[in-house]
A and B are shown apart, each in its own frame.
Chain A
Amino acid sequence: MNKRSTWALPYFIFLVLFVVLPLVLVVIYSFQDNSGHFTLANIGKFFSDKDSLATFALSIEVALENTALCILIGYPAAYILADKNLNRSAVTVVLFILPMWVNALMRTLATAELFTMAGVALGKGTLLFGMCYDYLPFMIYPIYNQLNKMDKSYAEAAQDLGATPGEVFRKVTLPLSMPGVWSGVMMVFMPTVSTFAISEFLTNNKIKLFGTIIQENINNSMWNYGAALSLIMLVIIGITTFLQGSDSQEDAVGGTV
């Protein structure tokens, strides 16, 4: 009984009960009708419903744009924060994370209100801005961590061997920071697809994202269709995780060569 490996058992049981079983239930409910019989109607309904497909496409589009925006704005910020020559204070890093402690919904409402005051009509533009505002710290932080962990002597070696600063960045720093960018993408892309409150507030309910349809179906007791929509998201998560997994494996292999 003294074997410490058994200490993992309570958490294992917990994970099976509260993580695995719920996901299995998502799959089961997706393929059932109201009375519990097997059906493909829920999945079929999604692929034949123009509105759902349009919302889905829009959500993916907004998520891609938001992720790109977060990388474009967040990468330079993370780079500056991690560079000892440009930033010496750890407090600046904390300042970027601090807003996350203020309720996200409240911040989003204030952002929407600021736009209204400035006379900007709520729509896709404000949605993207607000999304980027909410998720930027999730992009900056992993990249910053990765850059901080990085062995600076690689960049110095490249410089000594005659690389220009641009080449050092392109051929050394950027590839070595990619794992950080990937974890940032994971923390921004799928959550953007699935937000519901934030998109509702920022567009005054004009633009619906995928999360909103899931929420509406679940709240209106259409659990089976809601589960089917969740399953579609799970499949995408599975694919992106798999792609990321194979990519970082390549990175690891490349690193040992």
Chain B
Amino acid sequence: MKASRILSRIYIWVLLIVLYAPIVFIAVFSFTEAKSLGNWTGFSLDLYKNLFTGSMQNSSGLLSAVKNTLLIALIASTVATFLGTLAAVGVSRLKPRNRQVMSFLNNIPMINPDIITGVSLFLLFVFLHILQGYTTVVLAHITFCTPYVVLNVMPKLSQLNPNIYEAALDLGATPMQALRKVLVPALRPGMISGFILSFTMSLDDFAVTFFTRGTIGLDTLSTYIYADARKGGLTPELKPLMTIIFLVILVVLLIINTRKPKTTQQ
């Protein structure tokens, strides 16, 4: 029993070390001023300084890519959360046949690889003669985010007493009030996890953005890194940027995970 515990611990740690090696690598080399990724030319905070003062080669490009990434993720996951929650409530009241149709349609974007979602939406925008840019990227992100919101809200709905909404109406609430004061509080945990998942996937997306951003020069962090790497030289300031992003997420996740026991006690 003990041997298996030690073995499994070693296994997990070896995996984690391999999994984190590239991230640690980026973090370590963010503290040197060398241009290329694996080049150590002594300790320096210059890259951090450049990042914050904006004194680098293509600073406006990188900063606007970061801004676009965050803004697109925020808009797309907010819209997806509303659209998906509304849909989940509706779907739970549908006849079984229609519900099956909806869940089939809802599954398609989740099963499709990014490239198919990207190419098919690209063809849609070409077909409809819609100029591709910010709006099309946001629409595309809503498309692949919403199914996950629906999937996260549905279980919360099945736990809910189906008569509670009618009860609110009988007691004189308008449908809007019943939604805001009865349904949303009950569905909030599912909505939050759906939102977080959407936000994450939007942040990390590359292929869908790549195909739907058009030719107006819109860049997110992913497309910026891709273009940079294709050109040969990665903007050195990406290293401190990635390190900062990673640390922020690490801290946020640690806070969430240490706070959880308290909230369940309440």
Contact of B86 among A7, A86, A109, A111 (CB under 8 A): A7
| A249 contacts partner chain B, Cβ-Cβ < 8 Å | no
Q: Is the CB of A237 within 8 A of B111?
A: yes
Q: Are B102 and A85 in contact (CB under 8 A)?
A: no
- Expressed in whole angstroms, the minimum distance between the Cβ of B122 and any Cβ of chain A is 7
Known: A19-B105, A101-B204, A136-B15. 5 other contacts (CB 8 A): A8-B91, A15-B105, A19-B108, A80-B11, A103-B204
Chain B min CB distance to A58 (Å):
16
- Residue pairs across A and B with Cβ atoms less than 8 A apart, 18 shown, are A7-B89, A14-B83, A15-B105, A18-B124, A22-B120, A25-B127, A76-B11, A92-B16, A100-B200, A101-B246, A103-B242, A105-B229, A116-B38, A194-B113, A197-B206, A211-B207, A218-B122, A234-B116
Known: A81-B12, A106-B242, A109-B234. A99 touches B87 (CB 8 A): no
Number of interface residues of B (CB under 8 A): 81
Given A87-B8, A101-B200, CB of A106 within 8 Å of CB of B26: yes
User: How far in angstroms is the closest Cβ of chain B from A142?
Assistant: 12
Partner of B206, one of A23, A105, A136, A230: A105
Q: Are A111 and B22 in contact (CB under 8 A)?
A: yes
B172 an interface residue at 8 Å Cβ cutoff? no
Q: Give complex CA distance A7, B165 in Å.
A: 14
Which residue of A has the minimal Cβ distance to B109?
A: A19
Residues of A within 8 A of B (CB): 2-12, 14-16, 18-23, 25-26, 29, 73, 76-77, 80-81, 83, 85-87, 90-92, 94-96, 98-111, 113-114, 116-117, 133, 136, 186, 190-191, 193-197, 201, 211, 214-215, 218, 223, 226-227, 230, 233-234, 237, 241
Does B131 belong to the interface (CB within 8 Å)?
Answer: no
| Cβ–Cβ contact B89 & A106, under 8 A | no
Query: A8–B102 contact, CB under 8 A?
Result: yes
Closest 10 CB pairs of A and B: A8-B90, A7-B90, A11-B87, A22-B120, A110-B22, A5-B93, A194-B113, A194-B115, A22-B124, A80-B8
Interface of A is mostly: helix
Of residues 250 through 266 on chain B, the ones whose CB sits less than 8 Å from some CB of chain A are 250, 253-254, 257
Q: Which residues of A contact B203 (CB under 8 A)?
A: 101, 103
Q: Interface readout for B91-128 with A: 1 if CB under 8 Å, 0 if not? A: 11111001000100110110111111001111110110
Give chain A residues whose Cβ lies under 8 Å from the Cβ of B95: 5
Judge if B221 is at the interface, Cβ distance under 8 Å. Answer: yes
Give the complex CA separation of A77 and B11 in angstroms.
Answer: 8
Contact between B116 and A233, CB atoms less than 8 A apart? yes
Q: Which of B4, B23, B127 is close to A102, meaning CB atoms less than 8 Å apart?
A: B23
- For residue A100, give the distance in angstroms from its CB to the closest CB of chain B: 7
Q: Does B216 contact A (CB under 8 A)?
A: no
Q: Which of B123, B210, B249 contacts A223 (CB 8 A)?
A: B123
Q: With A12-B102, A110-B37 known to touch, is A237 a contact of B246 (CB < 8 Å)?
A: no
Among candidates A3, A111, A215, A241, residue contacting B111 with C-beta atoms closer than 8 Å: A241
Query: Which of A29, A81, A85, A190 contacts B123, CB < 8 Å?
Result: A29
Which residues of B sit under 8 angstroms from A29, Cβ to Cβ? 123
CB atoms of A237 and B112 under 8 A apart: yes
Interface flags for B235-250 (1: CB within 8 Å of A; 0: not) read 0001000100110011
Least Cβ–Cβ distance between A145 and chain B, in angstroms = 13
Residues in A whose Cβ lies below 8 Å from that of B146: 11, 14
When distances are taken between beta carbons in the complex, the residues of chain A under 8 Å from B22 are 107-108, 110-111, 114, 133
Q: Decide yes or no whether B190 CB sits under 8 A from chain A.
A: no
When C-beta atoms are compared, the residue in chain B nearest to A193 turns out to be B113
Q: Is B189 an interface residue (CB 8 A)?
A: no
Known: A15-B105, A15-B106. A105 touches B90 (CB 8 A): no
Whether A230 lies near B116 (C-beta < 8 A) is yes
Interface contact A22-B123, CB-CB below 8 Å: yes
Interchain CB contact (< 8 A) of B126 among A18, A104, A186, A223: A223
Interface presence of B21 (CB below 8 A): yes
**Residues A86 and B89 in contact, CB atoms below 8 Å apart:** no
In the bound complex, do residue A98 and residue B37 qualify as a contact, i.e. CB atoms below 8 Å apart? no
Interface membership of B19, Cβ < 8 A: yes
Check if B246 sits within 8 Å of A113, measured CB to CB.
no
The interface centre, meaning the residue of B25, B119, B150, B203 with most chain A CB atoms within 10 A of its CB, is: B119
Candidate in A19, A85, A193 with the most chain B CB atoms within 10 angstroms: A19
B19 and A23 form a contact (CB under 8 A): no
The residue from A25, A91, A109, A117 contacting B229, defined by CB atoms under 8 A apart = A109
Which residue from A98, A113, A190 sits with its C-beta under 8 Å from B113? A190
Q: With A and B bound together, what is the CA distance between A20 and B101 in angstroms? A: 12
B139 to chain A, nearest CB (A): 7
**CA gap between A110 and B23 in the complex, in Å:** 7
